[in-house]
Each structure stands twice: as structure tokens, then as C-alpha cells.
Structure 1
């Protein structure tokens, strides 16, 4: 009884959305560390054939089945909306008190959304605060905004399926939790780029001194089809536009912060040795494979959503 009373609450499930299914990571604590269980649930053919605008009832039934089969009733869940459903902006403000900054951010968000603030929900975080020296002091802020209607739809979906939605996170923060530290000795202190090459979007995130400093989502992808390894071999050359955007992101960060990016942590489709080599040659920088949970038995090329789901499950553990 006492053991049960003092037992730690389970970590949330990390749930990442794919075009044709859900990737869920469950992390269980042990004395020696953590036990990680990664699961994939393909959408039924009826859902896939219907397209993106599937009915709410069909998705609830799909999730209910997952809850029942895995005994996840009332389990907390952390998820993230697809990049095309989240607006992320990086802004700069002059030094000011936090209350004034809150009002300044609200004003900027209102301008970005053309005054339709009531239709959205947003949050922000200070990513860098440079001490004022003359007039050069700046406060760097990252803003994430989502349509309020979609946020509420996700909330009701999970509640009706038997889950407890703990948070809707953003993918760059999830990648930071899952991948940061894969460059030996960096510890997150030196600036690095996290690159998650996905099936629909590629996510870039710059981490400096352990903090998410810059985030971008790009519609630059590799199409894999049925034979993943064959497709990787055929398309070992990255799209030139994607390489240009990575370089542009690195140059922008260096110009803004006067600190060069020291390496790239690659995940998702970018784990192909050919792509890793291509990135290193084209960008002239250290590139290492980012494998969430180093030392665990993993697929050779984990799907892009695996790192995202892992990072979502680690919310509250590696923040």
C-alpha cells in the first residue's frame, strides 16, 4: 500500500501525427533509468481514403481502440500540431520590464494575425536576453500561435477517447529534448542546429546554451515511397534549396548572435549515411546522427516522427 502510494506518476505519452498514422512513445521509469516503448498505429483504410477531413467520431473511435488495447485509460498525453498548423515567429524587442514585454508581444501577435487575436491562442518564450550596452541591448522572443478552434478540437478528441491531454507542444522543443547532447561534449552550450528531415516538412532548430533560439519549418522533403532504403540511395543528394536554407539559417544566427554554429544533429530521413556525408561536405561543418535514447535498440533509420514523439514524452523531464 505504501509502495503504491509513493509510486511516481507515469510520464506522459508522446504522440506525434503522421500522414497515415500515429507514432506514440511511452517512457517508463526504472531504478537504473528509463524503459522506452515506441508504437505505431496506422490509420484504418477508411480514414486514409477519406482524406484529412475525417469525421470527429471516426477519429474518436480509432483512439478509443488504442486506449483499450494498451490500457491507457486516463493516461496523460503530450502532442504537437503539424508545422503547417502552427505559426512560429522569432522577434526582437528592446529591454523592458516583463509586464511591458507581455503587452508588446500581444501587440505583435495581433499584427501578425491581422487583428484576429480572439481566434487564436498563443504563447511565447524569451530565447535570449542580451545585457544593454548603450542602445544595443535586445530581448529575443519566440512566439507560437495556433487556431483556437483546432486546439479545442484536439482537446475534445483526446478527452472523448479516454486520454487526458496535458499539453500541445511545438515540434522544435520536442526535438531539443530528444536530440540535444548527441554532439559529444557539447552539452548544449555551443550553438548547434537540429535538423529533422520529414515526410512532409523539414524542421530546423538552433539551440544555443541549452535554449531554443531559432526555429524554422520548411516544405523541403525526400519522398521515400515503399522501399525506404532504395529511395534514400537514389536521392542521396539533398535538394539544393534545403541546403541553401540550412546555410541561410546558420548565417542568420551568426549575424544576430555573433556566435558560429558548431555542428548539426540530424534525425529522421537525414540519418542516411549518404545524406549525413552530403550535409558535411556541402556545409563544411560537423554533422552527427541524432538518435533519441542512445544505446537502445532502434531501427537503422527511425521515422522522423520518432524523435518528435520521444521529445513530447520527455516534457517535464528535460525542459
Structure 2
């Protein structure tokens, strides 16, 4: 897994969603290829079915790019935001081989651990904020095999929050904002402060539940999502030991198209929202385009 660093060559962004596979390629701030395909029922848990959907999306896109980036989220990846002494990335990478267990619950597990240095911490000389991520090695190898099966080389495995952040940064997002990627099975909440990612969490709340005309008694998916966002805010404020007030709500993912999503979240959080529309492709392409903006 490689989530840190930028290079000179763009990648094909691949979003293996629960309901749809999306691919996108960007060159000089212009989308040059895009495609999507539905995932067969229960196909997200069957990589052979997922390979078929990815192949269809690739054929639709007519993409020439063969080097690809994938985003993982939900229960597939463990993410932590930590403060570490400022050091060269080479030194940090070497230290993580032995110290990852201090920050991530991965003891006795065969995982791939990587990091992304986010920023130097204001007011704390010599400190930097770092995103740590851990993915089961077995799963990483399965994804590499899946991509090879359709003629792609998996060059980077990113996290959903970082893919979203790359897109929002490109679109000029500034200030304090809450970005919410509303997916078919999982939603991801990303807090940004002064235009920088500072905290994220994945919540098991399905967009299809919010789309129901009649919601079973005892279920309130939109209310649950609001509650999870508030928990993320409370946790970050406690960690920060200072005031943090978001100014806007940025919605992406297929669930952002549901009329109920914006209304219910605005009412529950008391802030206005806008739908993220990367290069006019629609909010469902946010992760794929964010990955395509990455350079290896």
C-alpha cells in the first residue's frame, strides 16, 4: 500500500463501490476518460464478479492509462491521525516497521502499513500531523491480482478520505468544512480545518436506507449519520482542546443525489451544504476523480 508522496505521472482512479464501479482519468485539469458499471448483487464481496464490472467500466471509458490507484474504506482499512516529531519521510517509514503497533491496533496481524504527512502542527514546534493506515496484506494482494486480471497495474492504494481531500483541494475548498461521502454501504466523514484534513471516520450507514419512502420503525439512517458526524466533531474538538466550527457541508458519493440527504443533514447540523460535482461528472465520481488527481 502506498498512500504518501506525489510524482510526475497521473494514474487511473478506480472506485470499487458496493453498487457501481467507477473509473476516471484526468489530464491537465480535464477528464479524458470515464466509465461506470453496476456491481452484481453481492458482487462487492466476490472479487471475480467485481473484476467483470471493472472490465465493463474500463471498456466504456476507453482509458489508455494502465497504471491505477484504488481507494479503500469502511472496515477494510484502519486509519489513525497522530502527532509525531518532525522527521524525514525515509526515517518515518523505517520507524513504522517497528512502532506501528503503538498507534494502530494491528498486533500479530499481517498488514501493510503506510502513512501520509498532512501538515506541520501550528503552535507546536517540531511536530507534524500524520495519517497512518493499515490494510490486511492478503486483501492488498487480492486487489493487485484483480487489477492484473483486467490489464491494470495497481500502483497505489489510497484511503477514501484522502481521495476526497485531493479532489476538494483541487476544487479550491478552503476554511473549515465537513465532507461527507455518502456511499451505498458506508459513509465517510472528513473534517477539514483551514483547508487541511484533520480527522475522518467511516460509518456503516447505507444511502439506500435514506432513500426509502417508508423507513421501518426504529430506524433513522439520516439521524444516525448526523449523530456520527457530531461524534466526529466532538472527538476532534476534544483532541484539539479548542473551538472548531465548520462553515459548510460538502456532499459527495452516490447518496448525495438523494434529495433527502442534503435537507436532513442541513437540518440536523445547522449548516448549509453543497454537492461536490467534479468536472461535471456528478458526486458519485468524487473518489475516482480524487484518485486520478493523484500523481505517483
Name the TM tier (shorter chain): 0.7 to 0.9
Whether the 8 Å contact between 1:200 and 1:221 is mirrored in structure 2 is yes
Instruction: Please name the residue that 1:110 is paired with.
Output: 101
Q: 1:241 aligns with which of 216, 224, 249?
A: 224
C-alpha displacement of 1:61: 6.5
Whether the 8 Å contact between 2:34 and 2:63 is mirrored in structure 1 is no
Q: CA offsets, 1:119-161, max 9 Å, x none? A: 111112333433566xx98543321111112212222332343
Q: Could you say what secondary structure the match of 2:277 adopts?
A: coil
Q: CA offsets, 1:181-207, max 9 Å, x none? A: 76xxxx444121111111100101112
**Are positions 1:39 and 2:28 aligned together?**
no
Q: Could you say what secondary structure the match of 1:256 adopts?
A: helix
Instruction: Please name the residue that 2:289 is paired with.
Output: 310
**Are positions 1:158 and 2:147 aligned together?**
yes
Return the alpha-carbon distance in structure 1 between the equivalents of residues 76 and 30 of structure 2.
Answer: 32
C-alpha displacement of 1:267: 1.6
Instruction: Please name the residue that 1:282 is paired with.
Output: 268
Q: CA offsets, 1:49-104, max 9 Å, x none? A: 6772455xx766765666567655662211112422111112234x4645876576
Return the alpha-carbon distance in structure 2 between the equivalents of residues 309 and 289 of structure 1.
Answer: 16
C-alpha displacement of 1:108: 4.9
Q: Alpha carbons of 1:11 and 1:232: their partners in 2 closer, same or farther (altered >3 Å)? A: farther
C-alpha displacement of 1:115: 2.8
Q: Alpha carbons of 1:103 and 1:68: their partners in 2 closer, same or farther (altered >3 Å)? A: closer
Q: Alpha carbons of 1:21 and 1:273: their partners in 2 closer, same or farther (altered >3 Å)? A: closer
Q: Pairwise CA RMSD of aligned residues?
A: 3.5
Return the alpha-carbon distance in structure 2 between the equivalents of residues 65 and 279 of structure 1.
Answer: 34
Q: CA offsets, 1:273-295, max 9 Å, x none? A: 433232222212232222222xx
Structure showing greater radius of gyration is 1
Instruction: Please name the residue that 2:24 is paired with.
Output: 25
Whether the 8 Å contact between 2:36 and 2:57 is mirrored in structure 1 is no
Return the alpha-carbon distance in structure 1 between the equivalents of residues 106 and 136 of structure 2.
Answer: 13
Q: 1:193 aligns with which of 178, 184, 190?
A: 178
Whether the 8 Å contact between 1:188 and 1:209 is mirrored in structure 2 is no
Q: Could you say what secondary structure the match of 2:18 adopts?
A: coil
C-alpha displacement of 1:252: 2.8
Whether the 8 Å contact between 1:191 and 1:208 is mirrored in structure 2 is yes
Q: Could you say what secondary structure the match of 1:239 adopts?
A: helix
**Are positions 1:92 and 2:83 aligned together?**
yes
TM-score by length of 1: 0.72
Return the alpha-carbon distance in structure 1 between the equivalents of residues 42 and 205 of structure 2.
Answer: 25
Return the alpha-carbon distance in structure 2 between the equivalents of residues 220 and 194 of structure 1.
Answer: 15
Greater length-normalized contact order (CA 8 Å, ≥ 6 residues apart): 2
**Are positions 1:172 and 2:161 aligned together?**
yes
**Are positions 1:81 and 2:60 aligned together?**
no
Q: 2:120 aligns with which of 98, 116, 129?
A: 129
**Are positions 1:204 and 2:189 aligned together?**
yes
Whether the 8 Å contact between 1:10 and 1:28 is mirrored in structure 2 is no
Q: Alpha carbons of 1:115 and 1:253: their partners in 2 closer, same or farther (altered >3 Å)? A: closer
Q: Alpha carbons of 1:10 and 1:91: their partners in 2 closer, same or farther (altered >3 Å)? A: closer
How many residues were matched structurally?
280
TM-score by length of 2: 0.77
Whether the 8 Å contact between 1:73 and 1:162 is mirrored in structure 2 is no
Alignment of 1:45-56 (within 5 A): 48=41, 52-55=45-48
Q: Which runs of 5+ in 1 are unaligned?
A: 1-8
